[in-house]
Chains A and B, each alone.
Chain A
Amino acid sequence: MLDTLTMFGFGPEGWGPAMLRAAANTVAVAAAGFALGGGLGILVAWAKIAGNAPLRWLAAAYTTILRGIPDLLVIYLFYFGSGLLLTPIANMFGVEGFVSFPGFVAGMGAIGVVSGAYHAEVIRGAFYSVKAGELEAATAMGMPRLLKFRRITLPLVARHALPGLGNVWQMVLKESALISVTGLVEIMRQAQIGSSFTRQPFTFYFAAGVLFLTITILSGLIFNRLEHRYSRGRA
């Protein structure tokens, strides 16, 4: 027991700082991917709600395909696929061998594209639960389209979308464990390094689980508070 404490402590032999840095990386890559997916989701939801036929078809194809293909394959596509683009350029500049996006960028892209499909469905659902009268009232006040979007549509949709977005965030967080295959030192990769170094895989993967659980619990609390805040004054 004491051994385990020193192992994860902050002393010279301790893995504590490394694990915490890795946790920060996990949160960073998940948050970046979540934000990218959110932007993508808004565009795709807009295409589904207000687009013309080809746009709607494209949006439907995107959400169907990305929700049916394993995330791991998408991560491979981004990681090795970026190599396909970057390796010839790098070789032109005299760099030998395989060059790809850094794990962070590839992971963020993959998570963004996958979660974008889920974001789009959540946002679309939220848009339809906003009462038409509220949007019509804004038009009647003479608000220009962008102003109406920023002042009325976005806050109302955000309020309805929050619970769904919370679910997407939890999903993204757990998906980010897969980015360890690109070599990005997030929680999983750090646990792999630690377990091959100390030959104590259970201890390290268990610690990884505890870190993930802590992050999920904390973000659950934050989303609860946000939901509470955004539904003030709702009947």
Chain B
Amino acid sequence: MDFEFLGQTFLKLLPGIPVTLELATLSLLLGACLALAFAVIRVRRIRPLNWLVIGYVYVFRGTPLLVQMFIIYYGLAQFPEIRNSFAWTYLREPYWCALLALVLNTAAYGSEILRGALLSVPRGQIMAAQACGMSGFLLFRRISFPIALRQALPAYGNEFILMIKATSLASLVTLADVTGIAARIIAETYRPVEVFVAAGTIYLAISYGLILLVRLAETRLNPDQRDPAPVARVDAARKEVTP
């Protein structure tokens, strides 16, 4: 392996990192909002919407992301109505098309994760909240949602990693993310091994950082699983001594 070339490739790939990170962050944030709305619709069984969401999730989880992205980027141009509408200023751009496809895709997977989490909130917790006089949005915001979030976090962490990997498909609609630049360098130099190592390292570093963040969030959201703070222990010891 040629380490000088490896170093050069690494430097050339750096400008792709913001594109990859931006696509992943935006699509995960927007996708999670959509997913939450879908999950609530499913759990509350809000009638006509309920069926639409079931169909939506089924179709988006049953077809490859690449098909979805190509339908949006290449496919929509087939209709003059869309080409002449205001949406065309966005749908013409590969960036917005890739983002839209990623958001719609992760929303489908995310809604299933959140639905499972919302269903796993213990009945007793909700009944306790109702007994305290909470209902509707207040109950959701204070009780159901925080408990469900805790439950969903490990699975949603997996979805984060999958989305980081999924952003690489944006390179196939001409975006210059890490994979896009890597593909160009491979085509120019025919040295796939070094380019693979350099690009792979970047993706692994991003994924690893993300895993650390998720773990941090998990410990924050589950205070009961943390070691008790030292101060508390001293207090407990003192209580035992003074009757």
Contacts and interface: CB of A to CB of B under 8 A. Distances in A.
Interface in B195-221: 195-196, 199-200, 203-204, 207-208
B200 to A, nearest CB: 5
Interface in B107-146: none
A80 B190 contact: yes
Contacts of B76: 202
Interface string A183-196: 00000100100010
Interface in A64-78: 64-65, 67-74, 76-77
Q: Would you call the interface of chain A mostly helix, strand, loop, or mixed? A: helix
Contacts of A69: 165, 199-200, 203-204
B49 interface: no
Contacts of B168: 70-73
A73 B64 contact: no
B76 to A, nearest CB: 7
Contacts of A80: 186, 190, 192
Interface residues of A, number: 42
A98 B196 contact: no
Interface of B: 59, 62-68, 70-71, 74-79, 161, 165-169, 171-172, 179, 182-183, 186, 190-193, 195-196, 199-200, 203-204, 207-208
17 contacts: A69-B203, A71-B168, A72-B179, A73-B182, A73-B199, A84-B191, A174-B64, A178-B64, A188-B70, A191-B70, A195-B74, A202-B75, A205-B70, A205-B71, A206-B71, A209-B59, A216-B63
Interface of A: 64-65, 67-74, 76-77, 79-81, 83-84, 98, 173-178, 180-181, 188, 191, 195, 199-203, 205-206, 208-209, 212-213, 216-217
